[in-house]
Amino acid sequence: MPTAIITTDDLREFKEELLEDIKAIINHQSGFSPKKWLKSPEVRDLLSISAGTLQNFRINGTLPYSKVGGVIYYDYEEIQKVLEHNRIHNKF
C-alpha cells in the first residue's frame, strides 16, 4: 500500500472545502436563499463598508452594478466572485 504525505496546505484546503460543504447544508436546511439583487445599503452592510467605498468600487470597476430608475443594484453572485477573486492565502 503506497504512503501519502499530507501537508499543511492539504489540510487547509480540506478545511475550506469542508466548511463550504457545511455552509451549503445549513443554508439548504434553513431555507436561506440570498436575494439575487441587492441595493446599496444591503451591500454596504454585507461588506461592512461606507457609501464612499462602495462608490469607489463602482467607479473603478471593482464591483459591477445595474442602475434602474436611479436605484443601483448589485448581483449577489458577482459580489461573491469579487470576494473569491481577491482572497489572500497566507502561507504559514
Pick the CATH number of 9-85 from 1.10.10, 1.20.120, 1.10.1660, 2.60.40: 1.10.1660
Domain ranges of the chain: 9-85
pTM exceeding 0.75: no
Residue 6 is classified by DSSP as P
Q: Where are the alpha helices (DSSP H) in 32-75?
A: 40-47, 51-59
Helix 40-47, helix 76-85: angle, nearest 10: 30
Which parts of the chain sit beneath pLDDT 70? 1, 29-34, 92
Q: What is the pLDDT of residue 69?
A: 94
Q: Where are the alpha helices (DSSP H) in 1-92?
A: 8-30, 40-47, 51-59, 76-85
Residue 36 is classified by DSSP as S
Q: What is the pLDDT of residue 3?
A: 82
